[in-house]
Structure 1
Amino acid sequence: MRLLSWGANQYGQLAHEGWPVFEESSTPQQCSLDGLPDEILSNICQICGGGGHTLLLDSDGCVWACGQNNRGQCGAPVDPEVKISRLWTKIEFKGFTKIVQVAAGWEHSSALAVNGQLFVWGSNSHGQMGNVVERGKWRNSPSLLAEEVLFVAAGLRQTAWIGRNGTIFFCSISGKQEIAVPSILRPIQIACGQKHNLVLMANRENDLDVGQVFCWGENKFGQMATNPNVHKTEELIFAEFLKGKEFIEVKSGWSHCAGIQSDGGVNSWGRSNYGQLGCSEQTGEKLPVLWPCSDNAKVKQICLGSEHTMVLTESGNLWTSGWNEHGNCGNGNLDDQFAPQLILSNVKLIGCGASHSFALVHS
């Protein structure tokens, strides 16, 4: 097994061998494993990133971070002279806490424990960490934000979560808010963009984790897949352009979105100026498009950076498209990709930050 990364690297977020290395890379390169347990490659279960930092979650429930740490987002003490963490810092949680999910915003991080406790650390510049620290301040150690949590997501500068009782909460520049959920619906997943949010909803009587997409926030680029006359809403609305489609996973970039359908296909919608939807820029009505994956395999995982998209099929092929200024699409150049390109094969797991990407590849 190999851990590879590419894209922006000004803070060492790619963890390349020979670290500290700060040169960006337009092709997948080997990551350093210094500081990680010997068995880490077989145990990595999630990879995500923010503006300049990366989080790894392993099957033992441990979280590891590298990259930018100017606001403590890597969970390490902040040195005014050195604003990056050392390579692969282990995040320490009080007591014995097994983490089952992580999420990263631009300069903050979050982790959900198996007992339903939600921890956050990093910058609270826009209220994304609620009241755990004064707004505008930061904290480098994980602090308890909520309990009885089922799922967490982080956007540019916001945090959202689903409670075990089916409630939805949201921390942002507007403070902590509860989003009303219709009594017949059960939220399964949530995803945050820059100024919009997605919720995957199932019928409350349905035990299957398959559902339809609801949204709130801004719709400037069609990221809520609804009537373009709806510019902004603070209440949940149905993504009417996705009517009749059932999804098992939804993800969001800053202003584009994608979801894996129950049949294994991928729909994408929202902003398309860099090719992040896997097609040329839409100039008329912004309707969802079917991701044009050419290996005809069902999709296993999707990851969305700020403006680029990664799609992993069950055959192990990794396809990317979108914004590529830093090589974050991994195709060997810095030109934006308006059609999916095959980057790697034999891939097990993918992850990304705003402009950097990771893949765990079978040797």
Structure 2
Amino acid sequence: MSAPLCSFAVSGHVFEWSGDKDAALSVPAANSAFTQISCGFSHTVALNENGGVEAWGANDQGQAAVPAVYESGVKAVAAGGFHSLVLLNNGLVKGFGENADGQLNPPKQAARKVVAVSAGLFHSLALDVNHNVYAWGYNGFGQGTVPSRLYQNVSAISAGAMHNLALTTWGSVDAWGDNSTGQLFIPEEATHDIVAIAAGYFHNLALTAAGEVIAWGDNSYKQCKVPGDAKKNVIAIAAGEKYSMALRSDGKVVVWGNHGPDKIDAPKELEGRVVSMSIGGEDQIAYLVSSTTDLDQDGMVDWWEMSNGLSPDDDDKDSDSDGDGYTDYEEYLADSNPSDEFSHLSVSAGMDTDGQVVLFSPASSDRRYQLEYTTDISSGEWKPVPGKSSITVSGAETFGRIQVAANTDGFVLYRLRAQLP
């Protein structure tokens, strides 16, 4: 049994409370904003705001090795057992990772106009614009054979380990594939007024229009024992191997299942900040957190405070956590580390072989910079250097290098101003 992994992705940042050694591999750098996240058996796939795919975790089948071609042009992702699916902007379904059962080979009918994808342990699903479902890959339990009754009748799909769920256009749940734990025995209350579905490995969740969660199937970890907090005001659901989750309209995340010593609860600091969540195997739980929320109204967005060891619930903008003379808010503006006294915005200068002044400064790809100068510091007047008012660095850079023409008329002093994007 691996150690439980609890991570959350916030505007490109991923955090772990306890580390599964595989899942901790190659966590992406904090250089992009995620719009979707999906947990597989022991890896995670995410879609960034630029339409690029990022992945981390176990990579024994190449399921976390994202081909360069998927750095853009993608609109959805799905993590399966040991494979990953990508849905391109043009409606084509592609993938990478394990393909022993053909789970990366969609049928020709699913070649275009696909609007959603989902991945099971060894099989894959797609939904097209005409409400048709396609399934491929391992078919040992019939999960790869879509029932004819679903023809042009499906509005959402969700793949479990060896079974599938479909939400029909009239608001009922349908299921096919493995029924070893009763996951195909749909309760009566899930036959009408359903707005969302989530297939776990061997259990299912459905969300009613009234905001109540319905669960059925495997209950070995009490993942089908819906707590009172998930019986009203729920707006989103997720299901995995051992856990079930619900996001309430008040921002509270409810987690149930795996009642053993390794049980993972939703971290309190995430309350009111979660946008969506995903659960996989091996106790993987991931949260996508809002990139704009600032519940304590201190001017620093909450995800940045959490990622830098500050409290997102306290107004600490005037604090100087590392004692370097820069307030935590000033460090936020510069995107430097408020817990490291040697991390702050500073400028050093030199000359290159062409006689130009070369300025160096710590830099962040999440900020823009404006270079300013003065020839009389006592005047307090600073002017922007022409052509240097919106300087950026790439995600791979941590230090900026700026060239400016040398001033042959005398003294000149430069400063660098960090700006929020």
Smaller-chain TM-score bracket: 0.5 to 0.7
Q: Deviations over 1:251-302 (max 9, x none)?
A: 1111201122112231111115474633xxxxxxxxxxxx224266521121
Q: Matched residues, percent identical? A: 28
* 1:309 alignment partner AA: I
1:349 corresponds to which residue? none
Pick aligned residue for 1:151 from 152, 156, 162: 156
Aligned counterparts of 2:188 and 2:108: Cα–Cα separation in 1: 32
Q: How does 1:1-363 map to 2 (within 5 A)?
A: 1=50, 3-15=53-65, 31-34=66-69, 36=70, 41=72, 43-75=73-105, 91=106, 93-94=108-109, 97-130=112-145, 146-174=151-179, 179-182=186-189, 185-203=192-210, 211-225=211-225, 239=226, 241-242=228-229, 244-273=231-260, 275=262, 277-278=264-265, 291-294=266-269, 297-306=272-281, 307-315=283-291, 317=303, 363=395
* Alpha carbons 1:167, 1:179 under 8 Å: kept: no
How far 1:184 sits from its partner (Å)?
A: 9.2
Question: Structure 1 193/163 Cα, relative in aligned 2: closer, same or farther at 3 Å?
Answer: same
* Alpha carbons 1:167, 1:178 under 8 Å: kept: no
Question: Structure 1 260/182 Cα, relative in aligned 2: closer, same or farther at 3 Å?
Answer: closer
Which structure is larger by alpha-carbon Rg, 1 or 2? 2
* Alpha carbons 2:154, 2:168 under 8 Å: kept: yes
* 1:7 alignment partner AA: G
* Alpha carbons 2:187, 2:216 under 8 Å: kept: no
Aligned counterparts of 2:99 and 2:116: Cα–Cα separation in 1: 20
Aligned counterparts of 1:164 and 1:295: Cα–Cα separation in 2: 33
Q: Once superposed, what is the RMSD of the aligned Cα atoms?
A: 3.3
How far 1:217 sits from its partner (Å)?
A: 1.2
How far 1:185 sits from its partner (Å)?
A: 4.4
SS at match of 1:112: strand
Aligned counterparts of 1:305 and 1:314: Cα–Cα separation in 2: 21
Aligned counterparts of 1:296 and 1:50: Cα–Cα separation in 2: 28
Bigger shift: residues 56-65 or 183-192: 183-192
Report which structure shows greater RCO (CA 8 Å, sep ≥6): 1
Aligned counterparts of 2:78 and 2:178: Cα–Cα separation in 1: 23
SS at match of 2:269: coil
Aligned counterparts of 1:126 and 1:184: Cα–Cα separation in 2: 23
* 2:96 alignment partner AA: C
Question: Structure 1 52/274 Cα, relative in aligned 2: closer, same or farther at 3 Å?
Answer: farther
Question: Structure 1 273/5 Cα, relative in aligned 2: closer, same or farther at 3 Å?
Answer: farther
Aligned counterparts of 1:74 and 1:173: Cα–Cα separation in 2: 21
How far 1:62 sits from its partner (Å)?
A: 2.4
Aligned counterparts of 2:227 and 2:58: Cα–Cα separation in 1: 36
Q: Deviations over 1:317-348 (max 9, x none)?
A: 4999xxxxxxxxxxxxxxxxxxxxxxxx98xx
1:138 corresponds to which residue? none
Question: Structure 1 274/106 Cα, relative in aligned 2: closer, same or farther at 3 Å?
Answer: farther
Aligned counterparts of 1:273 and 1:60: Cα–Cα separation in 2: 45
- 5+ residue gaps in structure 2? 1-49, 293-302, 308-364, 367-393, 396-421
Aligned counterparts of 1:121 and 1:168: Cα–Cα separation in 2: 21
SS at match of 1:242: helix
Aligned counterparts of 2:219 and 2:58: Cα–Cα separation in 1: 28
TM-score w.r.t. structure 1 length? 0.60
Question: Structure 1 191/123 Cα, relative in aligned 2: closer, same or farther at 3 Å?
Answer: same
1:86 corresponds to which residue? none
Bigger shift: residues 246-255 or 172-181: 172-181
- 1 or 2, which has the higher helix percentage? 2
How far 1:147 sits from its partner (Å)?
A: 2.9
SS at match of 2:228: helix
Aligned counterparts of 1:145 and 1:106: Cα–Cα separation in 2: 22
Q: How many residues align?
A: 247
Question: Structure 1 149/182 Cα, relative in aligned 2: closer, same or farther at 3 Å?
Answer: same
